[in-house]
Chains A and B, each alone.
Chain A
Amino acid sequence: MRGQTWHRLALVGAVLVFTLFIAMIGDLVWQSLGVLSWHFLWSPPSEMGHGGIGPELLNTLVMVGIAALISLPLGLAGAIFRVEYRGAPGFLKVFDRVRFTFLSLPTIVIGLLVYQWVVVELGWPLSIRSGIVALVVMNWPFVVNIGIEALSGVPDTSREASMALGATSSQTLMRIVFPSALPALIAGLGVSTARLLGESAALIFTAGINVAVHWSWSMPGETLAVHLWYLRTESLAPHANAEAAATGVVLLGLVALVLYLTQKIAHWLKPRDYSRKSA
């Protein structure tokens, strides 16, 4: 009886949380209905009303896409170095400390650091390329972590079995370790990319809060998340709240799409496990 009571309580809780979640999303969608349209997705923003998020959408896709592409090999290199080549222990300690520091830094501080390096020291403009640097710096330790987790998930006997068959360590890495770690890697990259999509703090003073009429690497590149922040704080546009809700819905859709696709691919790549797990 007792067990059943707890079971019912948990069920009620689950239904409650689910309803709350649906209510929040539903409210957002409801608010956005007035402005959400193809026109909204394509046109540039306007303070006079009837603007859109076209450039923001493009900037988000370009910046997040390129930042993810750059941080992938950098992060993987870090993870491989950490897991597969257990080199100098002293250096690894420093490496780990730097990694954890960057991982726990608030992203606004990362934005500040990148601003100092790239905008002040190198004289780059507040631009798409500066924003990409900020995203890469932010994402790199995260990808290293994902890589370390994925590579450590490959049983060591697989590596030894491969080497015992006459494979070099790089052959073992390419032919055994990577294929085995790929599903976990892709699922993890989905999460890190979704995190980049929602980043605003680090981009406000590296990529700016404007969009250019003519797109260029060196022009300011406001992303969806930054635009959302802008709409709710600074904007004087007549339908700012509805536009913010619509931007939120689009951003949420992008995140959901990235997560869904990467999980799907990861699942599809995973070798089906038929083993009966006999002891």
Chain B
Amino acid sequence: MDSKAPDLAVRHLSVRYGEQVALSDVSLDLEGGQVLALIGPSGCGKSTFLRVLNRLVDRSLEVRYEGEVVLGGIRILDPDTDLVALRRAVGMVFQQPSAFPFSVFDNVAYGPRLQGIRSSHRLRSIVESSLKKAALWDEVRGKLRRPAASLSGGQQQRLCIARALAVAPRVLLLDEPTAALDPLSTTKIEELILSLRGDYTLILVTHNLQQAARISDVTAFFRQGLLVEIAPTREMFTAPKCAETEEFLTGRYE
């Protein structure tokens, strides 16, 4: 992969869990380095869309998908796609801070160690630079041996972002990363996302419409497994093309 953050191209993506349709015939394009916000009511398929991008969706029972998803040259849905390589290229941050029951250092070093990096010097520098990118370094330097659980919720979420960045991904998937956080921590995460923009392609699921408006370049509105509208965020929030989108954005959606 070259140094530019990878583009995303989705063609006719459909996902089903058994008989239940989660996504049907979704097509969209995203330029590398941009922030894409996925909005829509609960159960509209936006989380499924996110989990397709690193194939975590494979863990669900009886899941079937069709269509084509290409991310910076990786054909994600190919049966012989190397999942380990894909997931190194595509990092993910979850709604609940999911720090492992280890120290701060071991949390961030988890991914690099999986890749066989043993040199403590290299691990240290990776951990330091990842924590700096995640804007957490100043708060945890000198406390790297403390358990991750000793950090606050907001710090733990930034720790999870640092942990994802430590494996040098080019894409970051964020599944409602601030839903469990207080306003101050939320602001910090949003600033962090803006600072990563450009170097990484970021895809963000959020229920917070103001958040989507504040930090995304492109917004996609999903409803009942369908992609209703995708447009540059400013356009979408000022003049949505579909009546349904407008209803959702103005809170008149039942």
A residues engaging B (CB < 8 A)? 86, 155, 157-158, 160-168, 171, 175-176, 179-180, 271-276, 278-279
Contact = CB atoms under 8 A, between A and B. Distances in A.
Interface in B109-152: 110-111, 114-115, 147, 149-152
Contacts of B88: 165-166
Interface stretch (B53-61, B213-221, B227-235): B53-61
Nearest to A270: B101
Contacts of A278: 152-153, 182
Contacts of A160: 56, 59, 92, 94, 98
Q: In this complex, which of B59, B91, B180 has the most chain A Cβ atoms within 10 angstroms of its Cβ?
A: B59
Contacts of B87: 163-166
A161 B84 contact: no
Given A166-B111, A168-B84, A175-B110, A158 B98 contact: yes
A165 B111 CA distance: 6
Given A165-B87, A271-B147, A274-B147, 17 more contacts: A155-B96, A157-B94, A161-B94, A162-B110, A163-B56, A163-B59, A164-B54, A164-B56, A164-B90, A164-B92, A164-B164, A165-B163, A166-B87, A166-B88, A171-B114, A272-B147, A275-B151
Contacts, number: 79
Nearest to A277: B153
Contacts of A168: 84
A273 to B, nearest CB: 5
30 contacts: A86-B61, A155-B96, A155-B98, A157-B96, A157-B98, A158-B98, A161-B92, A161-B98, A161-B100, A162-B100, A162-B110, A163-B56, A163-B87, A164-B87, A164-B90, A165-B88, A165-B167, A166-B85, A166-B115, A167-B84, A167-B114, A175-B114, A176-B100, A179-B102, A271-B101, A272-B147, A272-B149, A275-B153, A278-B152, A278-B182
Contact of B167 (A166, A175, A275): A166
A157 B100 CA distance: 10
A275 B182 CA distance: 15
A162 to B, nearest CB: 7
Query: What 6 A-B pairs are tightest by C-beta distance, nearest first?
Result: A274-B150, A164-B92, A157-B98, A165-B111, A271-B101, A161-B98
Interface of B: 54, 56, 59, 61, 84-85, 87-88, 90-92, 94, 96, 98, 100-102, 110-111, 114-115, 147, 149-153, 156, 160, 163-164, 167, 180, 182
A273 B149 contact: yes
B181 to A, nearest CB: 9
A166 to B, nearest CB: 4
A40 B96 CA distance: 59
A175 B149 CA distance: 17
A274 B156 CA distance: 12
A179 B59 contact: no
A167 B164 CA distance: 12
Contacts of B85: 166
Contacts of B150: 274-275
B101 A274 contact: no
A155 B160 CA distance: 15
Given A165-B110, A166-B87, A278-B182, A158 B164 contact: no
